[in-house]
Amino acid sequence: MPPCLHVSLFTCFLPPYPMPTLTPIPFTHVTLTDTFWQPRQRANREASLPHIYEWLERTGRVDAFKLQWRSGDPNPPHVFWDSDVAKWLEAAAYSFADVPDPQLDALMDEVIALIASAQQPDGYLNTHFTVVEPGKRFTNLRDRHELYCAGHLIEAGVAHFQATGKRALLDVVSRYADLLDATFGRAEGQKRGYPGHEELELALVKLYRATGEKRYLDLSKYFVDERGQQPHYYDLEARARGDDPAAYWARTYAYLQARVPVREQAEAVGHSVRSMYLYSAMTDLARETGDESLLRACERLWEHLTGRRMYVTGGIGSSGHNEGFTSDYDLPDLSAYAETCAAIGLVFWAHRMLNLTGESKYADVLERALYNGVASGVALNGRGFFYENPLATQGNHHRQEFFDCACCPPNVARLFASLGQYFYSTDGDDIAVQLYGQGRAQIGAVTLRQVTEYPWDGRIRLEIETKPAVFGLKLRLPDWCAGWSLSINGQPISPALEKGYLCLRREWHSGDEIVLDLEMPVVYVRAHPLVASAVGRVALQRGPLVYCLESADHPGVSVHHLIAPKEASAWQVEKSVDWNDVAVLRAEGLQFDISGWEKSLYSTQIPAVKSAALTAIPYCLWDNRVPGEMRVWLPLDAR
């Protein structure tokens, strides 16, 4: 086994994992040069990061750490403000690690010094509860995002340390974690509480991995294990505040994934972002501790989520009322919530499940969410963001520069800045290719190059540069691909398919070339018949991309009046005139003729139709041109 295949962002002296696992290749070892992700990463670095920071300053989020707010002043620091600054710092650290920038480095140091100045003598760090409600520290974990903010600060501290080697923020958040460890637990005098908005749990695992301090892992495990236990902590906490637990607005602790202990949960419920962060932490703990019961729970929850409550775009959470899940197959298109942060959370969880189990089905969902439900969340210029990602609009839903509740912009920024980590994993002396896209990966002593126009074309050429070495190469066969061919140095081969991967093992030499051709026809995707909004309709998909119709391509016609041709083969793939290298789909379809209906709301007559030229664009690109309507699920020509 070539020892060069295991790489890490930092030296790690932790014990080996008790379960067989894959190790993701750090994003700093992966360079993307494709036409899909590289421009988005550049916009993220050059536009999104400065744009978001400007808004953090403009809204008072950065200055809140000066602790100068006094009662009666306007604009009090909100309970979740600290998390917005922390996520920006995390994104900035990843960006700096990928493309060093002295000015960004200096700005991070400045913000970190400000954060450090706000830390209290006992290690506590939260702007809201220091100056707005100083007497209410840790009194409302259910609602007030206190531990959620702590989690994001910890993630930022770990990211900054890994990117720069500087310990300033890592030491600050470690002191805070020490206070949390002393405050929460089952020992006498400790609080038996846990986060209302999960996030701290996964952050503590990251802190453990960065420092080797097992207390942080144990605290994460405590928070996950204690969740939903009886007597219920949120009941006790509410009564201690003088509140009636029955008056809780959500009516059920399922909103917080805390109705029952986590190992008894079988359905994805409640607030969708919270659930993804909890499930991510559960997967982390299963990996770190070998806890099979946590893994089994995650597998049950995964099957339920992806089989009954996920949009075709990889979006999750259908309702704005609870920012989350409702009931099985309730996936409306026009009123879909599908928060950008929820799709990002699904990417986080899928990546963890993928590397814990080695099963490609998790990469399939990761890819679906990444190319559709996440990529739609930010404009191509990097300065506009969706909070909600519906699958149909009437022309009144558009990206915004920022939000009062601003979780999504810095969240997508930190994902895009660290995108390379999702492309490759190692498993012993095997290299697994999880995602496709032109670029270069340095995996120990092996250099792997992808030459491809993916996702616009299914042909992928992989070039290997290495000293002669025997190792395995696993190529994921996407679930959307029905036909493929593979060759090594021009010789066709048909390798074994294991867990969704084409498995190649041989002695490799510099100059070896693998060509994988994935058939990429336009297909019609149909939803389960219980998805009411999609009955009798189809969604267009080509490769990993879901397509939609948008008003910009159909002037003078409502996209809700357009009808797709009977066969998916009627759609032709063409280059877009609006975006370089983008593949759009064109077909001759139909449109409802509404002439004669001016004075009628109902009629016994079958509506007339006439021919219409249809153009479909990738869903992730909608609302980047002129404002207008959009639709994913299309009625089908039934003639």
Checking DSSP bridges between strand 430-433 and strand 469-476, what pairing results, if any?
parallel
What's the 3-state SS for 159-178?
HHHHHHCCCHHHHHHHHHHH
Question: Is residue 286 a contact partner of residue 203, using CB atoms and an 8 Å limit?
Answer: no
Instruction: Name the phi and psi angles at 587, rounded to 5.
Output: -155, 160
Give the integer Cα–Cα distance in Å for 635 and 207. 50
Q: Tokens 């990889």 sit at which residue?
A: 314
Here the tokens at position 267 are 């359905």
Q: How far apart are CA 285 and CA 214, in angstroms?
A: 12
Sign, CA torsion 226/229/231/236: positive
**Structural contact between residues 406 and 62, judged by C-beta atoms closer than 8 angstroms:** no
Q: Which of 550, 560, 613, 558 lies closest to 582, judged by CA?
A: 550
Q: Which residues are catalytic?
A: 323, 407
In degrees to the nearest 10, what's the CA dihedral of 286, 287, 288, 289?
A: 40
Beta carbons of 61 and 84 less than 8 angstroms apart: yes
Among candidates 455, 414, 314, 392, which has minimal Cα distance to 630?
392
Q: Where are the alpha helices (DSSP H) in 396-447?
A: 408-417
Pair of tokens at residue 574: 């063409």
Q: Read out DSSP for 181-195?
A: HHHBSSSTTSB----
Distance of CA 102 to the CA centre of its chain: 29
Q: How far apart are CA 203 and CA 210, in angstroms?
A: 11
In this structure, the dihedral spanned by the alpha carbons of residues 382, 385, 390 and 392, taken in order and rounded to 10 degrees, is -60
Answer for the pair 174, 207: CB distance below 8 angstroms, yes or no: yes
